[in-house]
Structure 1
Amino acid sequence: MKTIIIECPEAPNMLIHNMEAAARDDGIEIAIQPVSKEDLNTWSDKADVILLSPQERFEKHHIQETIRRSIPIQMIDMVDYGTMNGRAVLDQVKKILRL
């Protein structure tokens, strides 16, 4: 089971649903947790990857500095986020984690 954190407490349910559906199609077990920036350190201990919503693009460096462990942190493509393209976001995660 891979745990994906999306730094955006209001992460669209449709995006999460579409990512979960794509993972099922690929036979990958994932858990996706949307969290606020303030809760990232708490959740980062449980995560395999952290995805940042497009609105956080200017905070990536700061977030990397505040996370207590080495973990991949990547931006979600703005178009994929806006169109709720769960397949594309899952494919991004698969590349990061080499699945």
Structure 2
Amino acid sequence: MKIFLCCSAGMSTSMLVKKMQDAANNQGLECSINAYSISEFEPALAENDVCLVAPQVKFQYESFKSRAEQKGKACGLIDMMDYGMMKGDVILKQAVELYNSIK
């Protein structure tokens, strides 16, 4: 499973990506997790299964979700509290559930 987090510059989510990767490793899940800026959405979508949109760019969520669904991919909005508290395990669970919904 390939997951990408979409945020304003692609950098603010790097700590969250690490926490999610740690959670995946602890759970024995094989997945690739990366962060990209909103300007990189289209190429990132082509290479990944699940997009998680960071709260600071939620204004793009409906557009991104629509484009993801057109390509058979999943897209979700990260909860602001989970993002702020860097709950990598909770956000990883959201990504897995989204992935399972498109299979």
Query: TM-score, normalization: structure 2?
Result: 0.84
My pick for the range that moved more, 44-53 or 30-39, is: 30-39
CA contact (8 A) 2:2 2:33 kept: yes
Encode CA deviations 1:1-51: one digit per residue, 9 max, x unaligned. x11111021233321111011101111111112111111111111111000
CA RMSD of aligned residues (A): 1.8
Runs of 4 or more consecutive aligned structure 1 residues displaced over 6 Å after TM superposition:
none
**Which of residues 52, 72, 75 in structure 1 aligns to 2:74?**
72
Matches within 5 A, 1:19-98: 19-67=20-68, 69-98=71-100
Structure 2: gaps of 5 or more residues: none
Encode CA deviations 1:57-99: one digit per residue, 9 max, x unaligned. 2221222345562311100110110011101001111211239
For 1:13, the equivalent position in structure 2 comes to 14
Aligned residues: 98
CA contact (8 A) 2:75 2:98 kept: no
Identity of aligned residues (%): 28
My pick for the range that moved more, 8-17 or 31-40, is: 8-17
Query: TM-score, normalization: structure 1?
Result: 0.87
Task: Name the aligned partner's letter for residue 83 of structure 2.
Answer: Y
For 1:3, the equivalent position in structure 2 comes to 2
